[in-house]
């Protein structure tokens, strides 16, 4: 029997001896710390518990321990602040709402983390970026950009779905260049929202020169989520000139977007062709092994550990989004620390299931049909009609694919839903789309965009 | 136990321990207080296992002893009582309560079941400071802190003992307040200068119960703190965590400096805020000629209003929005006639301070304007 178990059996005996309130208050969050030459050390949640246990239960504890293991000579107690903290923290959600009076209220804690000059957050670096087959190209190109700033791949354009690591990579490029050049290279990281705001501010205050100077004198310009400037004419124009100035002077430009340049709607042609003139790399969803690696890196960063079964489960279940994956791990760790030794796999499974179901729970078949139809600019009625026109058949198959993939509906039900077809049609369609996704990058891209549209339609 | 006690003394002690009684549902005895004779005085204690308060009051001790009874009913009796002289006597763990025209028997619990209040082991090192000074300092910083379980390190007051000063700092990440005590205002003898976070609840109890004229000693153990005067002890755990490194956000170069009458600014903010129900937002705007400060607030379905105040303004023209409640908190914490309101544009932290008193400042973040 190890000492943890030994302590647990002592607790069981104590629980019978003393009243339940006393047990819960003083001993529930206790744990075995160490055994040094027969001197046992027990951690208690606070000073009150320490005083109490020393005064009231010490004799019993020592006696009980010694009957089980005669090598034990002494028992000591310490206050472990961690178990205290965990024990006393009420649910986080309620507090979050209280602490944020209004989402526009600026907070300097956020600001403190970010380097005011470059806008970079030092948290992101190249080493913590987990490389897998899904992002190899983007990663390799990033390293090349870091090595020869402005010379090799310019502009460098990264695209991929939300929560897959675009911002991480962009920030890491900035941080790495900053560290290597020891501050000699001027770097600027902005979101396209910030860029737009700056342009608007400049127009309003007639200070265009300031903004021009600000952006055009930098050596490395990193713009996140560039797709949002599409359709904002003045911003696009300003960006176009900034882009040209920097490009002509061999300054590095790195852009990120949730889709390739040609798929950004209402983006001016001259910008599109410029984006495509450099290096384009995509980041797709990580495979299982990469997800495992990501969880392990994340745990290392947090200095925590989880049983392998939990890691495998999380990696298996949460496939789409790294941010979600990290969120799940954070939540599991939070629960694990609060529950201390009462944590088990079942609980982790519950958390993961909750998270994965949460995103799909509110989607209805009708929503999927509507979204797919509106993406293809056809009417929902066409999808469920009998027609076999080519421009209808593929969207119909995509609909079937999503009904199966997102809602996990049965084939007969799907077939019924999609115009009283045979269930084999549904099976065929699902498999066909799956094949296409694996084969055709462009098609995969399209499926991803539709998927995001479905998720968004759900949030509205 | 048999004692004779004056109602006013008893009431003051019960008020002192009242706020931390009865918060734990697991252990019913925490709803109780402990009354104990303690070398010519009577000690009344309460605890919620995070904080404990011991208050000593004078009384005539006829027979030594201790008793633990439910606080709420005892407090009510003492509050509503007319007579000044009270006899208290324990009869088999129950409390027999008697005045010249009133009698009560209150059921008690075994005093041995009342939690043991921990001691501070390091008794040689302490800070000594006058009650009124500490209280004033706490009151100036306390409203910039909020309970936050997501960031427990912010739910308290940072106490930093420096080589020549002691600082009290609070922040809720939207504003930050700091009060500095100069070394004429306190004595301390710590070898290793402590830097600790005291829970908000504890510091509230300290500010509430501190007698202004008394000297207070502050002892700090590994993760406990004790505030001690002759008659009062407040013992509490400390918050374990890293207070943010806030130094960089204190504005150093101000792009706009506004020197303005404090009372007038307070009335302006109060008045204009009537139109800011949604975001609590008021706009601070400098007029072109830089002689007038405009406080403006509007709500689309209510209307709008503005208030003009003459001010001495240096630097750039600026328009920035603030949560008026936060702005008001800062203004209330400064007592001088005129204040300096310094800004660095509409997205960077601003600062409020007095021109005459350098020991205090209040940093406030603006609200993002779309």
Contact A51 B115 (CB under 8 A): yes
Q: What is the rounded CA–CA span in Å between residue A418 and residue A424?
A: 13
Instruction: List the single residue in A55, A105, A109 with the smallest CB-CB distance to B244.
Output: A109
Q: Which of A222, A144, A218 is nearest to A184 (CA)?
A: A218
- Checking if the pLDDT of B188 tops 70, the result is yes
Strands B108-109 and B224-228 come out as unpaired
Interface of B with A in 118-177 (CB under 8 A): 118, 146-152, 172-174, 176
B331 and B269 within one domain: yes
Q: How confident is the model at residue A363 (pLDDT cuts 50, 70, 90)?
A: confident
**Residue B242 located in a structural domain:** no
Q: Give the CATH number of the domain where residue B360 resides.
A: 3.10.150.10
B186 neighbors B164 (Cβ within 8 angstroms): no
Q: Single out the residue in B113, B147, B182 at which a domain terminates.
A: B113
Partner B contacted by A109 (CB < 8 A): yes
Q: What was the pLDDT predicted at A28? A: 81
Task: Say whether both B139 and B209 belong to one domain.
Answer: yes
In the numeric block, the tokens 């495998």 are attached to A312
- Token readout for B102 is 């009133």
> Sign of torsion, CA B270 B276 B281 B287?
negative
B156 domain-assigned = yes
Residue-wise pLDDT for B36-55, tens only, equals 999 889 999 999 888 999 99
Rounded to a whole number, what is the distance in Å from the CA of B109 to chain A's nearest CA?
A: 14
Q: Are residues B164 and B233 in the same domain?
A: yes
Residues 281-320, chain B, touching A (beta carbon < 8 A): 281
Residue B161 lies in a domain: yes
pLDDT digits (tens, 9 = 90+) for B346-361: 888 999 999 888 999 9
Give residue-wise pLDDT tens across range A179-216: 888 878 888 898 888 888 888 878 877 888 888 888 88
Domain boundary among B58, B89, B113: B113
pTM: 0.66
State the Cα–Cα distance between residues A131 and A133, nearest whole angstrom.
Answer: 7
Instruction: List the domain range (segments joined by +) for residue B97.
Output: 2-113
- In total, how many domains does chain B have? 3
Q: Give the per-residue SS3 of chain A.
A: CCHHHHHHHHHHHHHHHCCHHHHHHHHCCCEEEEEECCEEEEEECCHHHHHHHHHHHHHHHHHHHHHHCCCCCEEEEEECHHHHHHHHCCCHHHHHHHHCCCCCECCHHHHHHCCCCCCCCCCCCCCCCCCCCCCHHHHHHHHHHHHCCCCCCCCEEEEECCCCCHHHHHHHHHHHHHHHHCCCCCEEEEEHHHHHHHHHHHHHHCCHHHHHHHHHCCCEEEEECHHHHCCCHHHHHHHHHHHHHHHHCCCEEEEEECCCHHHCCCCCHHHHHHHHCCEEEEECCCCHHHHHHHHHHHHHHHCCCCCHHHHHHHHHHCCCCHHHHHHHHHHHHHHHHHHHHHCCHHHHHHHHHHHHHHHHHCCCHHHHHHHHHHHCCCCHHHHHCCCCCHHHHHHHHHHHHHHHHHHCCCHHHHHHHCCCCCHHHHHHHHHHHHHHHHHCHHHHHHHHHHHHHHHHHHHC
Cα–Cα distance between A164 and A258 in angstroms, integer?
10
Q: Are residues B80 and B11 in the same domain?
A: yes
CB contact under 8 A, B323 and A48: no
pLDDT in tens, B246-288: 888 898 889 899 999 999 999 999 999 988 877 788 999 997 7
Residues 6+ apart with CB under 8 A from A86: A29, A337, A338, A340
Chain-chain contact of B26 with A109 (C-beta, under 8 angstroms): no
**Cβ B74 vs Cβ B106: under 8 Å:** yes
Query: Is A51's CB within 8 Å of B117's CB?
Result: yes
Domain annotation covers residue B120: no
**Which residue segments constitute the domains of chain A, with CATH numbers given?**
3-88 (3.30.300.180), 119-283 (3.40.50.300), 288-361 (1.10.8.60), 365-459 (1.10.1750.10)
Half-sphere exposure of A439 (CA within 13 A, CB side): 6
* C-beta atoms surrounding B22 within 10 Å: 17
Whether the pLDDT of residue A129 is over 80: the answer is yes
Instruction: Choose from B28, B32, B45, B49 for mutation: most chain A CBs within 10 A.
Output: B49
Per CB-CB distance under 8 Å, the chain B contacts of A91 are 149
Which residues of chain B does A113 touch, with a Cβ-Cβ cutoff of 8 Å? none
- What are the tokens at A418? 């999609």
Q: Say what percent of chain A tops pLDDT 90.
A: 6
Residue of A15, A105, A116 to mutate for B, most B C-beta atoms under 10 A: A105
- Assess whether pLDDT exceeds 70 at residue B18: yes
pLDDT for res B23: 62
User: Is B244 within the bounds of a domain?
Assistant: no
Q: What is the pLDDT of residues A395-450, one digit of tens each?
A: 999 999 988 888 888 888 888 888 888 888 889 999 999 888 888 878 888 888 88
Pair B274, B305: CB distance under 8 Å: yes
Chain A residues within an 8 Å CB radius of B117: 48, 51
Q: Is residue B243 part of a domain?
A: no
Answer whether residue B102 shows pLDDT above 90. Answer: yes
Residue in A closest to B47 by C-alpha: A48
Nearest to A229 by CA among A188, A198, A186: A198
Give a yes or no: residue B119 inside a domain.
Answer: no
For B342, half-sphere exposure in the C-beta direction (CA atoms, 13 angstrom radius) is: 16
**Contact status, residue B80 vs residue B70, Cβ threshold 8 Å:** no
Based on the fold, state whether residues B230 and B268 are members of the same structural domain. Answer: no
Q: Which of A176-185, B107-116, B307-316 has the lowest mean pLDDT?
A: A176-185
Please indicate, yes or no, if residue B351 is contained in any of the structural domains. yes
Q: Let me know whether B232 and B136 are in one domain.
A: yes
Do B54 and B14 sit in the same domain of this protein?
yes
pLDDT tens digits, residue range A26-63?
888 888 888 888 888 999 888 888 899 999 899 999 99
Q: Which of B82, B113, B144 is the last residue of a domain?
A: B113
Q: Which two tokens stand for residue B113?
A: 């079941």
Using alpha carbons only, what angle is made at residue A37 by residues A31 and A40, rounded to the nearest 5 degrees?
Answer: 20
- Residue B44 shares a structural domain with residue B102: yes
Lowest mean pLDDT among A145-159, B47-61, B76-90, B101-115: A145-159
Nearest-CA residue of chain A relative to B247? A112
Is the minimum CB–CB distance between B116 and chain A shorter than 8 Å? yes
> What long-range pairs does B23-28 form, CB within 8 A, spacing at least 24?
B23/B48, B24/A25, B24/B48, B24/B49, B26/A21, B26/A24, B26/A25, B27/A21, B27/A22, B27/A24, B27/A25, B27/B115, B28/A21
* A48 contact residues in B (CB cutoff 8 A): 47, 49, 52, 115-118
Are the beta carbons of B50 and A21 separated by less than 8 Å?
no
């Amino acid at each position: 029997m190890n000492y943890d178990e030994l302590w647990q059996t002592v607790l069981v005996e104590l629980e019978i001896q003393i009243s339940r309130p006393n047990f819960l208050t003083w001993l529930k969050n206790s744990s075995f710390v160490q055994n040094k030459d027969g001197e046992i050390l027990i951690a208690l949640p606070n000073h009150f518990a320490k005083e109490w246990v020393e005064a009231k239960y010490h004799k019993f504890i020592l006696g009980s321990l010694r009957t089980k293991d005669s090598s034990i000579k002494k028992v000591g107690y310490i206050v472990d602040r961690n178990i205290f903290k965990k024990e006393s923290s009420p649910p986080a959600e309620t507090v979050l709402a209280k602490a944020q009076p209004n989402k526009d209220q600026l907070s300097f804690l956020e600001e403190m983390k970010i380097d005011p000059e470059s806008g970079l957050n030092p948290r992101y670096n190249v080493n913590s970026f987990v490389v897998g087959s899904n992002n190899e190209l983007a990663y390799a190109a990033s390293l090349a950009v870091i090595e020869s700033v402005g010379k090799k791949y310019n502009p460098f354009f990264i695209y991929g779905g939300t929560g897959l690591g675009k911002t991480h990579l962009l920030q890491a490029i900035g941080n790495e260049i900053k560290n290597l050049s020891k501050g000699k290279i001027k770097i600027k990281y902005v979101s396209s929202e910030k860029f737009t705001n700056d342009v608007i501010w400049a127009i309003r205050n007639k200070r265009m020169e300031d903004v021009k100077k600000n952006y055009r004198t930098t050596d490395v310009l990193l713009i996140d989520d560039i797709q949002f400037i599409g359709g904002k004419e003045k911003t696009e124009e300003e960006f176009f000139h900034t882009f040209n100035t920097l490009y002509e002077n061999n300054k590095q430009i790195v852009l990120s977007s949730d889709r390739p340049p040609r798929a950004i709607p209402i983006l001016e042609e001259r910008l599109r062709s410029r984006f495509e003139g450099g290096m384009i790399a995509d980041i797709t969803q990580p495979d299982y092994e990469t997800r495992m690696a990501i969880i392990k890196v994340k745990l290392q960063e947090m200095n925590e550990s989880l049983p392998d079964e939990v890691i495998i489960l999380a990696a298996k279940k949460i496939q789409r989004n790294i941010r979600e994956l990290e969120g799940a791990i954070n939540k599991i760790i939070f629960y694990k620390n609060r529950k201390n030794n009462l944590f088990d796999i079942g609980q982790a499974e519950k958390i993961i299931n909750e998270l994965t179901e949460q995103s799909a729970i509110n989607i209805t078949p009708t929503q999927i049909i509507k979204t797919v139809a509106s993406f293809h600019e056809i009417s929902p009625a066409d999808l469920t009609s009998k027609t076999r026109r080519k421009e209808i058949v593929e969207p119909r198959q995509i609909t079937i694919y999503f009904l199966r993939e997102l809602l996990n509906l049965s084939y007969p039900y799907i077939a019924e839903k999609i115009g009283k077809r045979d269930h084999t049609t549904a099976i065929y369609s699902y498999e066909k789309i799956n094949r296409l996704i694996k084969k055709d990058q462009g098609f995969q891209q399209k499926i991803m965009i539709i998927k995001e549209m479905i998720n968004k339609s759900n949030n509205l | 136990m048999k004692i004779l006690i004056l109602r006013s003394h008893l009431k003051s002690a019960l008020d002192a321990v009242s706020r931390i009684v009865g918060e734990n549902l697991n252990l019913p005895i925490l709803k109780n207080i402990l009354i104990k004779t303690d070398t010519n005085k009577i000690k009344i204690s309460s605890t919620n296992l995070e904080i404990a308060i011991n208050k000593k009051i004078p009384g005539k001790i006829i027979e030594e002893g201790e008793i633990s009874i439910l606080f709420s009913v005892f407090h009510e009796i003492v509050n509503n009582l007319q007579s000044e002289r009270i006899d208290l006597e324990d009869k088999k763990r129950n409390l027999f309560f008697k005045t010249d025209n009133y009698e009560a028997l209150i059921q008690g619990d075994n005093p041995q079941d009342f939690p043991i209040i921990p001691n501070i082991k390091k008794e040689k090192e302490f800070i000594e400071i006058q009650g009124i000074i500490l209280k004033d300092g706490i009151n100036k910083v306390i409203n910039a802190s909020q309970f936050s379980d997501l960031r427990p390190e912010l739910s308290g007051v940072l106490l930093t003992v420096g080589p020549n000063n002691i600082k009290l700092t609070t922040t809720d990440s939207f504003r930050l307040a700091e009060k500095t005590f100069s070394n004429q205002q306190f004595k301390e003898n710590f070898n290793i200068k402590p830097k600790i976070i005291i829970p908000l609840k504890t510091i509230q109890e300290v500010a509430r119960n501190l007698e202004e004229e008394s000297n207070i000693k502050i002892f700090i153990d590994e993760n406990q703190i004790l505030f001690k005067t002759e008659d009062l002890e407040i013992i509490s755990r400390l918050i374990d965590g890293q207070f943010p490194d806030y130094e960089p956000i204190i504005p150093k170069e101000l792009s706009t400096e506004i020197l303005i009458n404090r009372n007038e600014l307070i009335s302006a903010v109060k008045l204009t805020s009537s139109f800011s129900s949604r975001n609590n937002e008021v706009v601070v705007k400098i007029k072109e000629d830089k002689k007038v400060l405009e406080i403006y607030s509007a709500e689309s379905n209510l209307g709008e209003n503005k208030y003009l105040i003459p001010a001495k303004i240096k630097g750039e023209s600026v328009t920035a929005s603030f949560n008026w409640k936060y702005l008001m908190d800062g203004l209330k914490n400064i007592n001088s006639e005129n204040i300096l309101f310094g800004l660095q544009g509409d997205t960077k932290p601003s600062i409020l301070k007095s021109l005459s008193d350098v020991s205090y400042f209040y940093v406030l973040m603006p609200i993002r304007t779309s």
